[in-house]
């Protein structure tokens, strides 16, 4: 058993070193499905460099926080209340959302960012507010509890100010909601 865990951890270390982890949380590795992985993602604008920063970078399975080095983080323009969201493809009861902050710079820009779950995509503020980002250290990994809130979309919004929004990975965990 110990050997299996050592092997798993060694594999994870290699993948982390290459910036190719399948999850930001090793304890979820191959155990729990990340509902956001590979889903369609959208954001309010795109930082003016098309090689970097598109919305899908937050659901590409690469948790590397080095914006320039990994090319695996999103980036909007600086604007009032920027937003990002992922379409989960169906309605889920969302338990937790993991948000990986940029690690090479500017982590404080994510301060107070709201994590919401719901079925509105044109008006994110109508969706259930799970919580806000308070740990804005560069490269921080925040786990936000959504208490089983149901929704088709998970969004991040920076409320009440003009800001850049960039995140390097967003993971969503939950269960498929019952159909009525």
- Contacts with Ca ion by CB under 5 A lie at 57, 60, 62, 72, 168-169
User: What DSSP string runs through 50-111?
Assistant: TTSB-GGGGGSS-----HHHH---B-PPSEES-EEEEEEEEEEEEEEEEEEPPSSS-GGGGT
Nearest approach, Cβ of residue 72 and Ca ion (Å): 4
The residue whose Cβ lies closest to Ca ion is 72
Q: Which residue's CB is nearer to Ca ion, number 44 or number 74?
A: 74
Nearest approach, Cβ of residue 57 and Ca ion (Å): 5
Residue 29 CA from chain centroid, whole number: 16
Q: Taken in order 85, 91, 97, 98, is the CA torsion positive or negative?
A: negative
- Structure token pair of residue 73: 């983080």
Nearest approach, Cβ of residue 62 and Ca ion (Å): 4
Q: Which residue's CB is nearer to Ca ion, number 141 or number 149?
A: 141
**DSSP SS3 for 6:** helix
Nearest approach, Cβ of residue 64 and Ca ion (Å): 7
């Amino acid at each position: 058993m110990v050997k299996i865990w050592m092997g798993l951890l060694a594999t994870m270390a290699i993948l982390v070193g290459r910036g190719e982890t399948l999850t930001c949380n090793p304890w979820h590795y191959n155990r729990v499905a990340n509902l956001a992985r590979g889903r369609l993602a959208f954001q309010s604008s795109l930082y003016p460099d098309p090689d970097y920063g598109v919305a899908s970078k937050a659901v590409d399975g690469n948790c590397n926080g080095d914006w320039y080095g990994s090319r695996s983080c999103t980036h909007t323009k600086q604007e009032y209340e920027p937003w990002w969201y992922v379409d989960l493809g169906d309605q889920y009861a969302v338990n937790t959302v993991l948000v990986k902050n940029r690690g090479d710079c500017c982590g404080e820009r994510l301060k107070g960012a709201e994590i919401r779950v719901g079925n509105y995509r044109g008006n994110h503020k109508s969706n259930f507010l799970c919580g806000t980002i308070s740990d804005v250290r560069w490269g921080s990994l925040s786990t936000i509890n959504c208490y089983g809130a149901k929704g088709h979309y998970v969004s991040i919004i920076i409320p009440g100010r003009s800001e850049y929004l960039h995140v390097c990975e967003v993971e969503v965990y939950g269960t498929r909601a019952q159909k009525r």
